[in-house]
Chains A and B, each alone.
Chain A
């Protein structure tokens, strides 16, 4: 790993190189993977290229197109290294593609193909033939440039485990020949879904995890939002916009979601003046974009629900009719007991607790949500509102037994204490 811009002694040109590393290194890597056909060789070439820049630029000045310079230098270094390794055999094998003199460097570092390379990298890291946790690790490592140690810390996984996951994924990409390409139109919806799933998983890990270092975890959400932005910029599909909107709208409530002593604050009790208005405005704009396509998907619909909450000046002013309508739409698209539970809450808010409770009791009788803590917590709350104290106690106690998150446990304990007074 090259150390760039040691802070106190950095010259202006070293600082420029550090800035270029920040903004360009992932792009350069994505292109080098295409040119070299190998992740490890490309990473090594990337570092060699930046090392060469640190050596040469201070004396020779910055090249006119730093990115093209880095790509062509990295490629040259990789070919050089491969030649040295293969000194005795197969030299003629490499001859054809090895001579950098005949290559027009600008042609493979122009903006369009470089942006395509970034998409290729994303789709390759999120290839469904890789294990789900490997997709997440590869995306954070290769697309976002996080170190293995940073990813391990964020996911509370031992670094060697994570490193092994990445090695295994890279081996599979090479040995099973997972192509470095953007999927065709026909494959795009399914493949995009996989990418979105990875991004949302990263976001949720940062947003709803209660254990581990808060700061690191917040970084994961920020990383997911950055990824979402990148994806939407490269590929403006409605569901990508929907997911970015959903993440922004959830994240806008971050400051209001926990009390100073780390307790969870429910949506209806949050101080809405703490919500991030810029994020809300951006999220709402994206939702509108996604819906104007005429084919909003599940992420866009969930984002629209979040937008209804975000735009209500007070909890009591929430347009519950709109929320119910959106959940109806979501139920038609992706029916699940969890969506049904959320819909039941919206019904309870619109038509009163008894209407919501009837649906939830039906769901619990169905059996699928019997082990789901939030189903019991919601049931407890609705019973409490109906004055059915004993039922509320039973449900809160059940929820308490099932929960494993510390702030959530404290919240349910408080509720249980309230109804037991």
Chain B
């Protein structure tokens, strides 16, 4: 089962974990065969929100929700169950600086 691990960090903690460490942890997860995809994100100032209303495109600056912690990256992992997903999430280095939200992926009903 796939879980998306969303990494949240306060703005001043965005670079608290060195890139090298993040890259290495991603590599380890990839070697274990549990990582589907992982990326770090540019800060929230670069975000653009897109909506379509009545067929009309609406583009606004900034994220959809203002929160203290911002989405800083994600790991899409393949785990047997929530316990394994939690165990993987606990190995994501920014977990010690911010928080990691673990969300099960929903299979689309065809």
Question: Quick check: B86 and A129 within 8 Å, CB to CB?
Answer: yes
Question: Quick check: B104 and A178 within 8 Å, CB to CB?
Answer: no
Shortest beta-carbon distance from B11 to chain A in Å? 28
Is the contact region of chain A dominated by helix, strand, or loop, or is it mixed?
Answer: loop
The yes or no answer to A176 lying at the interface (CB within 8 A) is: yes
Shortest beta-carbon distance from A13 to chain B in Å? 42
The yes or no answer to A87 lying at the interface (CB within 8 A) is: no
Against A, the Cβ 8 Å flags (1 = close, 0 = not) of B61-77 are 00000000000000000
The yes or no answer to A8 lying at the interface (CB within 8 A) is: no
The yes or no answer to B21 lying at the interface (CB within 8 A) is: no
Q: Please measure, in the bound complex, the distance between the C-alpha atom of A178 and the C-alpha atom of B81, giving whole angstroms.
A: 6
CB contacts under 8 Å to A, within B75-109, are 80-83, 86, 102, 104, 106
The yes or no answer to B1 lying at the interface (CB within 8 A) is: yes
Nearest-CB residue, chain A, relative to B104: A176
Q: B106 to chain A: which residues have CB within 8 Å?
A: 175
CB contacts under 8 Å to B, within A93-151, are 129
Shortest beta-carbon distance from B3 to chain A in Å? 8
Shortest beta-carbon distance from A88 to chain B in Å? 17
Q: Please measure, in the bound complex, the distance between the C-alpha atom of A187 and the C-alpha atom of B86, giving whole angstroms.
A: 12
Q: B83 to chain A: which residues have CB within 8 Å?
A: 178-179, 181, 183, 187
The yes or no answer to A177 lying at the interface (CB within 8 A) is: yes
Q: Please measure, in the bound complex, the distance between the C-alpha atom of A175 and the C-alpha atom of B106, giving whole angstroms.
A: 8
Q: B86 to chain A: which residues have CB within 8 Å?
A: 129
* B82: contacting residue among A129, A183, A187, CB under 8 A: A129
Q: Please measure, in the bound complex, the distance between the C-alpha atom of A237 and the C-alpha atom of B83, giving whole angstroms.
A: 22
Question: Quick check: A175 and B81 within 8 Å, CB to CB?
Answer: no
Q: Please measure, in the bound complex, the distance between the C-alpha atom of A148 and the C-alpha atom of B107, giving whole angstroms.
A: 32
Against B, the Cβ 8 Å flags (1 = close, 0 = not) of A142-181 are 0000000000000000000000000000000001111101
Q: Please measure, in the bound complex, the distance between the C-alpha atom of A181 and the C-alpha atom of B104, giving whole angstroms.
A: 19
Q: A175 to chain B: which residues have CB within 8 Å?
A: 104, 106
Q: Of B1, B81, B83, B102, which is in contact with the most chain A CB atoms at under 10 Å from its CB?
A: B83
Q: B1 to chain A: which residues have CB within 8 Å?
A: 177
Shortest beta-carbon distance from B101 to chain A in Å? 12
Shortest beta-carbon distance from B10 to chain A in Å? 24
Q: Please measure, in the bound complex, the distance between the C-alpha atom of A183 and the C-alpha atom of B84, giving whole angstroms.
A: 11
Question: Quick check: B104 and A179 within 8 Å, CB to CB?
Answer: no
Q: A176 to chain B: which residues have CB within 8 Å?
A: 82, 102, 104
Against A, the Cβ 8 Å flags (1 = close, 0 = not) of B1-32 are 10000000000000000000000000000000
Shortest beta-carbon distance from A376 to chain B in Å? 35
Shortest beta-carbon distance from A415 to chain B in Å? 45
Shortest beta-carbon distance from A25 to chain B in Å? 27
Q: Please measure, in the bound complex, the distance between the C-alpha atom of A176 and the C-alpha atom of B82, giving whole angstroms.
A: 6
Q: Please measure, in the bound complex, the distance between the C-alpha atom of A129 and the C-alpha atom of B100, giving whole angstroms.
A: 13
Shortest beta-carbon distance from B89 to chain A in Å? 11
CB contacts under 8 Å to B, within A402-416, are none
Q: Please measure, in the bound complex, the distance between the C-alpha atom of A57 and the C-alpha atom of B86, giving whole angstroms.
A: 47
Q: Of A177, A181, A183, A187, which is in contact with the most chain B CB atoms at under 10 Å from its CB?
A: A177
Q: A178 to chain B: which residues have CB within 8 Å?
A: 81-83
Q: Please measure, in the bound complex, the distance between the C-alpha atom of A178 and the C-alpha atom of B1, giving whole angstroms.
A: 11
Shortest beta-carbon distance from B102 to chain A in Å? 8
Nearest-CB residue, chain B, relative to A191: B83
Q: Please measure, in the bound complex, the distance between the C-alpha atom of A172 and the C-alpha atom of B88, giving whole angstroms.
A: 19
Q: Please measure, in the bound complex, the distance between the C-alpha atom of A186 and the C-alpha atom of B86, giving whole angstroms.
A: 14
Q: Please measure, in the bound complex, the distance between the C-alpha atom of A178 and the C-alpha atom of B102, giving whole angstroms.
A: 12
Q: Please measure, in the bound complex, the distance between the C-alpha atom of A181 and the C-alpha atom of B82, giving whole angstroms.
A: 12
Q: Please measure, in the bound complex, the distance between the C-alpha atom of A178 and the C-alpha atom of B80, giving whole angstroms.
A: 10
Nearest-CB residue, chain B, relative to A178: B82
Q: B80 to chain A: which residues have CB within 8 Å?
A: 179
Shortest beta-carbon distance from A178 to chain B in Å? 5
Q: Please measure, in the bound complex, the distance between the C-alpha atom of A177 and the C-alpha atom of B106, giving whole angstroms.
A: 11
Q: Please measure, in the bound complex, the distance between the C-alpha atom of A62 and the C-alpha atom of B1, giving whole angstroms.
A: 43
Q: Please measure, in the bound complex, the distance between the C-alpha atom of A220 and the C-alpha atom of B102, giving whole angstroms.
A: 34
Q: A181 to chain B: which residues have CB within 8 Å?
A: 83
Q: Please measure, in the bound complex, the distance between the C-alpha atom of A253 and the C-alpha atom of B16, giving whole angstroms.
A: 53
CB contacts under 8 Å to B, within A181-211, are 181, 183, 187
Nearest-CB residue, chain A, relative to B87: A187
Q: Please measure, in the bound complex, the distance between the C-alpha atom of A176 and the C-alpha atom of B81, giving whole angstroms.
A: 8
Q: B102 to chain A: which residues have CB within 8 Å?
A: 176
Shortest beta-carbon distance from B95 to chain A in Å? 15
Nearest-CB residue, chain B, relative to A183: B83
Q: Which 3 residue pairs of A and B lie closest in terms of their CB atoms, listed nearest first?
A: A179-B81, A177-B81, A176-B104
Q: List 11 A-B contacts (CB under 8 A).
A: A175-B104, A176-B104, A177-B1, A177-B81, A177-B82, A178-B82, A179-B81, A179-B82, A181-B83, A183-B83, A187-B83
Given contacts A178-B81, A179-B82, 14 further A-B contacts (CB under 8 A): A129-B82, A129-B86, A175-B106, A176-B82, A176-B102, A176-B104, A177-B1, A177-B81, A177-B82, A178-B82, A178-B83, A179-B81, A181-B83, A187-B83
